[in-house]
Structure 1
Amino acid sequence: MTRSARRTRRTLQVAGAAALLALSACSSSDDASDSSATSKSSGSASSSKLSGTVTVFAAASLKESFTTLGKDFEKAHPGTKVTFNFAGSDALAASITSGAPADVFASASPKTMAIVTDAKDNAAEPATFVRNQLEIATLPGNPDKVDSLKDLTDPDLKVVLCDKTVPCGAAAQKSLDASDLKLTPVSYEEDVKSALTKVVLKEADAAVVYKTDVKAAGDKVEGVEFPESADAINDYPIALLKDSHNADAAKAFIELVRSPEGRQVLTGAGFLQPTS
């Protein structure tokens, strides 16, 4: 082979290699673009996949904080709607076991949650997300000078309690038993909000409710702490109901409740963090 031929052959080899490198670069660029487009498409689908209504049955004491979290959830997931049924935990549990349609149950005690979880395996494993402590609610300015749980036994005072079947009523009774005190209220109320309302409307002088409810009432009542309440703190469990018609959105709402953002809203309302 002549020197000229060898030179021509090398030139062709170099040109061919350059062409292959150019094709490879174009292919890699196209793959990256496709990958980026796929990623964006997947991310968009992920952010918009939640839709429809989430029905939450929640203890009455959660009304203010859960209403806030419901609005936050709807804002984060356009196309969703969170509806609530707030009532005494025992009444909610009875409704669920009777077939009332719901996606999430948030109870004010493990005992009332067990009514649901023990009945035909109605719910997934519950998780404690907050705790709550009792406080005495009096009229503004505490005109009757209530300073202790024992003061509520004064027969001249009109005192209301939650029904003993309701978590706040069971906790109040536990506090009274621990102090060996006997108290006959003028009424037993179906949930903590009803008990507090009696004081707000001046139909009662005092009520044993949760700290969160005293805080939510603002200057409509005055709170009085009592040491016996430390022995009757309620754990609040939350669970996905197995008959949920919108399980994905329901799980996402539970995740929000248990997230740092959710915990901030709940502790801001006066709830205590769970022990574990």
Structure 2
Amino acid sequence: MITRSVRLAGGTAAALLALSACSSSESDSASSSELSGTVTVFAAASLQESFTTLGKDFEKAHPGTKVTFSFGGSDTLAASITGGAPADVFASASPKTMAIVTDAKDASGTPATFARNQLEIATLPGNPDKIASLKDLTRSGLKVVLCDETVPCGAAAQKALDASGLKLTPVSYEQDVKSALTKVELKEADAAVVYKTDVNAAGDKVDGVDFPESAEAVNDYPITLLKDAPNAAAAKAFIALVQSAEGQKVLTTAGFLKP
């Protein structure tokens, strides 16, 4: 009788454990499948290609969700967020522009660095002006475009120029890195200081020239969930994708450095 009771008790316990495990698994599955609705991501212009790819991957992994992006200069996006623009995620091209959001207490938690980016000179295809260094951009008659210093790519370019003791007067200052690159693509400028990732994305529309001073101005890219995120659950899942091995592969393929 005692043996039978022990067996019954053991069987009951095993059944309860199995039921509990099943319930837990179903709960986890339900939690994953419950993600729905729109995730609004404000992201630096240089992230356009890689984040667009990750957005499609996210929607495929979570049917019923949609990721919408607002790409632009990090300072402009930060100002929009602190001004009350509804968004779930902010991915900036520098800690300085991220600080605009965190100082206003519009971030939820501590931003995490998920990638880094380095500058490169974009020239006309074939590099007809034979630009080989940052100093070459100071040549008379050369039309060079920079990002505005309020934008991370512009601040990084100025830092590189300062490190080399060079002074450069561009024909224009652009509000984001894509605008600077477009000037070269349209042959409205001979060269622009942009990110390696943007030169990669442009393909044969431009040529890229490395310069050693760029090592003095590598930008960290932080990402954060926003405090009043309308879709916090899906936003957290998107941030997790960006930080995952899959997300990092997409970013490094685009030319970003690992954090």
Q: Please, what TM-score do these two structures have when normalized by structure 2?
A: 0.93
Q: Of residues 26, 47, 53 in structure 2, which corresponds to 1:41?
A: 26
Distance in 1, matches of 2:61 and 2:165, equals: 50
Structure 1 residues 31, 224: closer, same or farther in 2, change over 3 A?
A: same
**Letter of the structure 2 residue corresponding to residue 235 of structure 1:** D
**Letter of the structure 1 residue corresponding to residue 160 of structure 2:** S
Distance apart, 1:28 and its partner CA? 5.9
Distance in 1, matches of 2:17 and 2:224, equals: 42
Deviations 1:8-63 (A, max 9, x none): xxxxxxxx679768866875675466345424422331221211111110000000
Tell me what 2:106 maps to. Answer: 122
Q: Of residues 92, 111, 132 in structure 1, which corresponds to 2:77?
A: 92
Structure 1 residues 201, 44: closer, same or farther in 2, change over 3 A?
A: same
Distance in 1, matches of 2:145 and 2:15, equals: 73
**Letter of the structure 2 residue corresponding to residue 249 of structure 1:** A
Structure 1 residues 198, 39: closer, same or farther in 2, change over 3 A?
A: same
* Root-mean-square deviation (Å): 1.8
Structure 1 residues 179, 23: closer, same or farther in 2, change over 3 A?
A: closer
Structure 1 residues 46, 184: closer, same or farther in 2, change over 3 A?
A: same
Residue pairs, 1:87-166, within 5 angstroms? 87-119=72-104, 121-123=105-107, 124-166=109-151
**Structure 1 residues not aligned, in runs of 5+:** 1-15
1:232 matched to 2:217? The reply is: yes
Tell me what 2:168 maps to. Answer: 183
SS of 1:64 mapped into structure 2: helix
**Letter of the structure 2 residue corresponding to residue 191 of structure 1:** D
Distance apart, 1:176 and its partner CA? 1.0
Q: Of residues 42, 46, 62 in structure 2, which corresponds to 1:61?
A: 46
Once structures 1 and 2 are overlaid, which stretch shifts more, 90-99 or 32-41? 32-41
Aligned residue pairs total: 258
Structure 1 residues 31, 194: closer, same or farther in 2, change over 3 A?
A: same
1:216 matched to 2:224? The reply is: no
Tell me what 1:51 maps to. Answer: 36
Larger Rg: 1
SS of 1:125 mapped into structure 2: strand
1:246 matched to 2:231? The reply is: yes
Distance in 1, matches of 2:123 and 2:67, equals: 34
Distance in 1, matches of 2:4 and 2:229, equals: 59
SS of 2:110 mapped into structure 1: coil
SS of 1:126 mapped into structure 2: strand
**Letter of the structure 2 residue corresponding to residue 210 of structure 1:** Y
**Letter of the structure 1 residue corresponding to residue 192 of structure 2:** A
Distance in 1, matches of 2:205 and 2:181, equals: 10
SS of 2:145 mapped into structure 1: strand
Matched-pair identity in %: 76
Structure 1 residues 40, 116: closer, same or farther in 2, change over 3 A?
A: closer
**Letter of the structure 2 residue corresponding to residue 173 of structure 1:** Q
Tell me what 1:12 maps to. Answer: none
Structure 1 residues 238, 30: closer, same or farther in 2, change over 3 A?
A: closer
**Letter of the structure 1 residue corresponding to residue 123 of structure 2:** T
1:198 matched to 2:206? The reply is: no
Structure 1 residues 127, 17: closer, same or farther in 2, change over 3 A?
A: closer
Structure 1 residues 28, 235: closer, same or farther in 2, change over 3 A?
A: closer
Distance apart, 1:187 and its partner CA? 0.7
